[in-house]
Chain A
Amino acid sequence: SQTIHQWPATLVQPVGSPLSLECTVEGTSNPNLYWYRQAAGRGLQLLFYSVGIGQISSEVPQNLSASRPQDRQFILSSKKLLLSDSGFYLCAWGGVTDEQYFGPGTRLTVT
Chain B
Amino acid sequence: AQSVSQHNHHVILSEAASLELGCNYSYGGTVNLFWYVQYPGQHLQLLLKYFSGDPLVKGIKGFEAEFIKSKFSFNLRKPSVQWSDTAEYFCAVIDTGGFKTIFGAGTRLFVKA
Please report A residues at the B interface, Cβ cutoff 8 Å: 32, 34, 36, 38, 41-44, 46, 49, 51, 57, 59, 90, 94, 97-105
Within 8 Å CB of A51, what residues of B?
Answer: 99
Q: Contact check, B103 vs A99: say whether CB atoms are below 8 A apart.
A: no
Q: Which of B4, B45, B99, B102 contacts A102 (CB 8 A)?
A: B45
Which parts of B49-91 form the interface with A (CB within 8 Å)? 49, 51, 90
Q: Which residues of chain A have C-beta atoms less than 8 A from B46's C-beta?
A: 99-101
Q: Establish whether residues A97 and B43, one from each chain, have CB atoms under 8 Å apart when the complex forms.
A: no
Q: Which residue of B lies closest to A38 (CB)?
A: B44
| Complex Cα–Cα for A80 and B56 (A) | 48
Q: Shortest distance in angstroms between B107's beta carbon and chain A's nearest beta carbon?
A: 10
Which residues of A are found within 8 Å of B9, using beta-carbon distances?
41
Please judge, given known A-B contacts A41-B9, A43-B90, A97-B49, whether A102 and B44 are in contact too, CB under 8 Å.
Answer: yes
